Amino acid sequence: MAAELMLEKWSGEVSVVTIGATKADGGTRSTTVKIGGQKTLPFLFAEGAIPHKPVIAFEIWDIPPQDWPEESTKPYGQSIKDPLAWAQMCVKEFKAQLLCVRLQGAHPDFGNKSTEQEAEFIRALLKKADVPLIIKGCGDDAKDNQILAACAEAAKGERCLIGSAVQDNYKTLVAAVLADGHNIIAESPIDINIAKQLNILISDMGLPLERIVIDPTIGALGYGLEYAYSIMERARLAALSGDKTVASPFICFIGQEAWRAKEAKVGSADQGVMWEVVTACALIQAGGDILVMRHPKAVEKVNKYIGELFGR
């Protein structure tokens, strides 16, 4: 007699977040991206609905990256020196569904671009690339409060995903996102309790939980991957058990973590690509919804993996 498969039924589900606004929604994007909505753990299709696939966002910067290994920039050729050409190449040649632009040039140590310069760059980017946008600050809290508010206004109506809000610096960004109709990234330092508290603080300001995406802060293969995995798993279990305050989709900054590893910079030309691929595939299994990646070959391999998982 064959053993009967035990199926878990959950009372909760992950929120659905929509990124991008088409003309019908009042924006100018050619399409929208939906993430979340899971009613079960990753890829347990027999237990519940998994309506949306994980999606990959190509990472671009507003300046030529100064600390990326050569292997990660080589596929983009000379376009890496022109952020708008870089963005167009990602969309047209590599078929990017989503772009994640990091405004690194606004950082005091990387050019200290003005608020007006960054807002103008976002307006130009929206004209050059018609896919939904993730807009990420430079990492300096004081500067991010200025530039992200201005960029949110410049992209008003486009329903971007903007970040990051952190526990000690979230009010200005939440107000901007509320005013201009965007979603927000809530960043917590590999801590489920802080992630929950930050979501509560943001929602208390009037932004619905359905417009929050959690950045749990991940590590790459060999650099804290297993700890990040366990935190994401705990959060997802809590969400499926009915805790709406942690029932947000996850965004994972795969590229920046994988290419930071020393192993990604040595050995064969493909070693860094595989470091990015393995990190991404593991975090998909932990529940990652948006994977921000760098190397087109890594993106291709991970998209194939996602297709095979859903093909089953």
Phi, psi torsion values for 219, nearest 5 degrees: -120, 160
Low-confidence ranges of the chain (pLDDT < 70): 1-3
Q: Please report the pLDDT score of residue 1 as a whole number.
A: 55
Q: Please report the pLDDT score of residue 266 as a whole number.
A: 84
Q: How many CB atoms lie within 10 A of CB 193?
A: 9
Which one, of 100, 61, 102, 101, lies nearest residue 80 by Cα?
61
pTM exceeds cut of 0.85: yes
pLDDT tens column, 111-129: 999 999 999 999 999 999 9
Which one, of 48, 149, 65, 62, lies nearest residue 101 by Cα?
62
Q: Please report the pLDDT score of residue 57 as a whole number.
A: 98
Residues 6+ apart with CB under 8 A from 240: 10, 11, 12, 13, 14, 38, 39, 40, 41
Going along the chain from its start, the domains and CATH numbers come out as 49-311 (3.20.20.20)
Q: Please report the pLDDT score of residue 265 as a whole number.
A: 86
